[in-house]
Every structure is written in structure tokens, then in C-alpha cells.
């Protein structure tokens, strides 16, 4: 039996839980932890592992299917897409905060 997907869900996400799950999956993809073609656990198994309702995981998977991060193959499962969304693989660092400049005397 496959090991459940260990996601790091941001507790301070502030939005719907299904989006936090989707974000955690995309983060694992961009980090290289989940590679193109990797099989994801079924919605029931992941929901059980996360302690959430299956519909929540299903909504996260549907969001990622729509965005192009995942692909579903009938009777086989859900996989990380072979062709990931362009421009999404490189995580850009947040810009450094700009310190105010004191006026010269």
C-alpha cells in the first residue's frame, strides 16, 4: 500500500481549506518533491490522512486539474502533469523591504 502524501498545509492560509491543500501540493511540485508523472493518493486516502472531508480534497484536486498542475486518468488515478504550467516552476523570492531614506540635513 502506498504511503500517504505528507503535505505541509499553511495554518495561516486564511482562505478555504481546499485552496490551502492545493497550494501545498503545488509547493511540493515546485520544490521537486513531487515530480511530473508522480501518482497522487486517491481523494479518500488523502482526506483520511489529513482528517478532512473527501469533498475538500476533491475540490483541491479539481482546482489543480483546472490550473494544469494535475492530470486525471480514468481507472488509473491522478498524477502530476507531465507538462506543468509555464512560469510556475521557478519560485521567485519576495522583494526585499525598502527602508525609508532619511532626508539629508
Beta bridge partners of 79: 39, 71
> 9 CB contacts (<8 Å, ≥6 apart)?
17, 20, 21, 24, 50
pLDDT score for 61: 97
The answer as to whether 88 is a domain residue is: no
Q: What is the pTM of this model?
A: 0.76
pLDDT score for 93: 47
- Categorize the per-residue pLDDT at 4 as very low, low, confident or very high, splitting at 50, 70 and 90: low
The predicted-structure confidence for 11-29, as pLDDT tens digits, reads as follows: 777 889 999 999 999 999 9
What CATH number has the domain bearing residue 42? 1.10.10.10
* Domain, as residue range, for 51: 17-80
The answer as to whether 58 is a domain residue is: yes
The answer as to whether 73 is a domain residue is: yes
Average pLDDT over residues 72-92: 79
Number of folded domains in the chain?
A: 1
The answer as to whether 5 is a domain residue is: no
The answer as to whether 95 is a domain residue is: no
- Categorize the per-residue pLDDT at 1 as very low, low, confident or very high, splitting at 50, 70 and 90: very low
The answer as to whether 2 is a domain residue is: no
Amino acid at each position: 500500500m502506498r504511503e500517504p502524501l505528507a503535505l505541509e498545509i499553511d495554518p495561516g492560509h486564511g482562505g478555504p481549506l481546499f485552496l490551502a491543500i492545493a497550494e501545498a501540493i503545488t509547493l511540493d511540485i515546485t520544490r521537486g518533491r513531487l515530480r511530473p508523472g508522480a501518482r497522487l493518493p486517491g481523494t479518500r486516502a488523502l482526506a483520511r490522512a489529513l482528517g478532512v472531508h473527501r469533498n475538500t480534497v476533491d475540490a483541491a484536486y479539481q482546482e489543480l486539474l483546472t490550473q494544469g498542475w494535475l492530470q486525471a486518468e480514468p481507472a488509473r488515478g491522478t498524477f502530476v502533469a507531465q507538462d506543468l504550467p509555464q512560469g510556475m516552476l521557478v519560485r521567485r523570492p519576495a522583494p526585499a523591504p525598502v527602508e525609508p531614506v532619511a532626508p539629508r540635513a
